[in-house]
Amino acid sequence: MNRINKNERVGAIIKILTENPKKIYNLNYFCEIFDCAKSTLSEDIDIVKDIFEKFKLGEIETVTGAAGGVLYKPNMTKEQFKDFCTELCKKINNSERIIPGGYIYMNDLIYSADVSFNIGRALGSFFQDVDFDYIVTIETKGIPIALMTARVLNKPLVVVRKEGRLTEGTAIHMNYVTGSSKRIQTMYLAKRSIARDSKVIFIDDFMKAGGTAKGIIDLMKEFEAEVVGVGILMVTKEPEEKLIDNYHSLIVLEEIDSSSGEIIVKPSI
Amino acid sequence: MNRINKNERVGAIIKILTENPKKIYNLNYFCEIFDCAKSTLSEDIDIVKDIFEKFKLGEIETVTGAAGGVLYKPNMTKEQFKDFCTELCKKINNSERIIPGGYIYMNDLIYSADVSFNIGRALGSFFQDVDFDYIVTIETKGIPIALMTARVLNKPLVVVRKEGRLTEGTAIHMNYVTGSSKRIQTMYLAKRSIARDSKVIFIDDFMKAGGTAKGIIDLMKEFEAEVVGVGILMVTKEPEEKLIDNYHSLIVLEEIDSSSGEIIVKPSI
């Protein structure tokens, strides 16, 4: 390879860091690719940092020590966070989304790779400094946003099933009661999914009374794991008293007015 | 903002393109951010192109015309593709993955945001030049890799359900027969999920005889949509005759030998 100039080093570093959020790259890794001295590379990293700061593109962090290096956190600024949630609320407040029975059609949003990635960035921002091992969600609609949160925080995703599957081996299954409709449901999780003594963050698309979240907390106890954070895309205003105490959300659903076609939904913060 | 130098422009362009695969950015968009002339920006884009080529980081493409601009395709080179599939096979060939009944535990791989993103890149490489409107998958395990393929190709994802859900409104449901075990199953899809006359690509994690893929092709006919491509993570060698003719896959499962603990799995190409 020909001599590599500063432009090229900075560009390639940005490409690699951006595509691998929260993954720590040891400086030696880049020194080898570029065949350059560590001091040169330190200067490059400073430039990368400045670029991300100047254009509000997220955070570049250097970690010192033996396992140290450089990593990219796809954080949103407070303003970007608020703008994104406001924009999302605008998209949701559309009478055509109202489904008989008081539901809201959201598939086009949560299944959009672009929107779900930004939901992941937004939800991830609550947990950037939390020490944990897995992102946990429950099938089906929570999966895309949970996967993107997992990507942003660089942790493995675990998907709890509502039906037992032979294909996943021995599983723990558990009944739980939904919070608002008081129906009995079942959740299943393959035994090998989570190592003992793990810490997990639960991510879901929707929460009313919090029965599912409480169910997940109980299920995790069976795995001797602890839920150290809960992040939800949309929570309902009512009931105000939820079955769980601590959770973060992006938006609050206040009311669906089927007659006027208004969906009153607001950013949580 | 202070004057912006070439380093900074190139770096910020790379960050934005990388985080938004296959999204076309008009050059004016960058000219405004950087307050620079279009000729300057064209030079920057050439540098970006060179960097991606030099370090094999994917492809930067310029599109001419009114709707033109620049975009990033997260393509793998043939070598990267082969290395990734070979690496995946190595990870799969582990006796601890064998589940009674002849199944393989793959959750840790397909639910890993990192692995699923690279599976998405690899599957996406088959369809980079195909004209289509949606990525379609069926719950549950196909969702992560389908979402990542959708991200790589910048198309919306549509998830077919196995159970009807009130929360998605009017749906078309259809029975189909699984290819190998000849069981009758049901698939559901909300009517508003897919516009008429659409072209779709079906992505799934596993295919044996191809009954599910055939079911999806039939379901799409109900939506007056056409399946123009099929991409599967892992197909079984037997039966060699599948129920569908054209599909792409990453790896082939030849045999599970429960007694020796060998899972014989090879890259498809």
**Model pLDDT, residue A1:** 54
Give the whole-angstrom CA distance, residue B89 versus residue B94: 9
**Are the C-beta atoms of residues B123 and B149 closer than 8 Å to each other?**
yes
For residue A206, give the chain B residue with the closest CA. Answer: B167
pLDDT score of A227 more than 90: yes
Which of A180 and A126 is assigned the larger pLDDT?
A126
Q: Token digits for B48? A: 């970006």
**Model pLDDT, residue A108:** 96
pLDDT score of B167 more than 90: no
Mean pLDDT for chain B overall: 94
pLDDT tens digits along B172-227 = 999 998 877 888 999 999 999 999 999 999 999 999 999 999 999 999 999 999 99
Among the residue ranges A180-184, A262-266, B225-229, the one predicted with the least confidence is A180-184
Q: Any CB–CB contact under 8 A between A142 and chain B?
A: no
**Model pLDDT, residue A217:** 97
Cβ of A147 and B147 within 8 Å? yes
Cβ neighbors of B159 (< 8 A, separation 6 or more) are A107, A111, A140, B136, B137, B138, B139, B143, B146
Of the options 3.40.50.150, 3.40.50.2020, 3.30.1330.50, 3.40.1350.10, the CATH number for the domain spanning A78-267: 3.40.50.2020
pLDDT tens digits along A16-65 = 999 999 999 999 999 999 999 999 999 999 999 999 999 999 999 999 98
Q: Between residues 233 and 252 of chain B, which touch chain A (CB distance below 8 Å)?
A: none
**Model pLDDT, residue B258:** 82
**Model pLDDT, residue B65:** 85
pLDDT score of A167 more than 80: no
Secondary structure class of B109 (helix, strand, coil): helix
Question: What is this model's ipTM?
Answer: 0.95
Give the whole-angstrom CA distance, residue B251 versus residue B240: 14
Q: How far is B66 from chain A (nearest CA, A)?
A: 24
Secondary structure class of B253 (helix, strand, coil): strand
**Are the C-beta atoms of residues B207 and B247 closer than 8 Å to each other?**
yes
Q: Any CB–CB contact under 8 A between A158 and chain B?
A: yes
Which of B92 and A66 is assigned the larger pLDDT?
B92
**Model pLDDT, residue B181:** 82
**Model pLDDT, residue A2:** 65
Determine whether A60 is exposed, middle or buried from the number of CB atoms within 10 Å of its CB (0-12, 13-18, 19+): buried
Identify all chain A residues contacting B108, using CB atoms and an 8 Å cutoff.
156
Instruction: Write down the domain spans for chain A.
Output: 6-73, 78-267
Q: How far is A223 from chain B (nearest CA, A)?
A: 16
CATH architecture of A6-73: Orthogonal Bundle (1.10)
pLDDT score of A148 more than 60: yes
pLDDT score of B40 more than 80: yes
Among the residue ranges A163-177, A248-262, B69-83, B117-131, the one predicted with the least confidence is A163-177
**Are the C-beta atoms of residues B156 and A111 closer than 8 Å to each other?**
yes
Closest by Cβ to B47, choosing from A7, A23, A47: A7
pTM of the prediction?
0.96
Q: Between residues 199 and 238 of chain A, which touch chain B (CB distance below 8 Å)?
A: none
**Model pLDDT, residue B6:** 94
Identify all chain A residues contacting B74, using CB atoms and an 8 Å cutoff.
19
Which of A258 and B43 is assigned the larger pLDDT?
B43
Among the residue ranges A105-109, A167-171, A190-194, B137-141, the one predicted with the least confidence is A167-171
Mean pLDDT for chain A overall: 94
Q: Token digits for B202? A: 């079906």
**Are the C-beta atoms of residues A209 and A179 closer than 8 Å to each other?**
yes
**Model pLDDT, residue B2:** 65
Q: Between residues 58 and 77 of chain B, which touch chain A (CB distance below 8 Å)?
A: 74
pLDDT tens digits along A121-138 = 999 999 999 999 999 999
Cβ of A103 and B167 within 8 Å? yes
Half-sphere exposure of B181 (CA within 13 A, CB side): 6
- The mean pLDDT of A249-254, rounded to a whole number, is 98
What number of helices (H) and strands (E) belong to chain B? 8, 12
Q: Token digits for A76? A: 């949103």
Give the whole-angstrom CA distance, residue B12 versus residue B47: 13
Residue linked to tokens 């992560």: B144
Give the whole-angstrom CA distance, residue B71 versus residue B20: 8
With bands split at pLDDT 50, 70 and 90, how would you rate the model's confidence at B252? very high
**Model pLDDT, residue B163:** 81
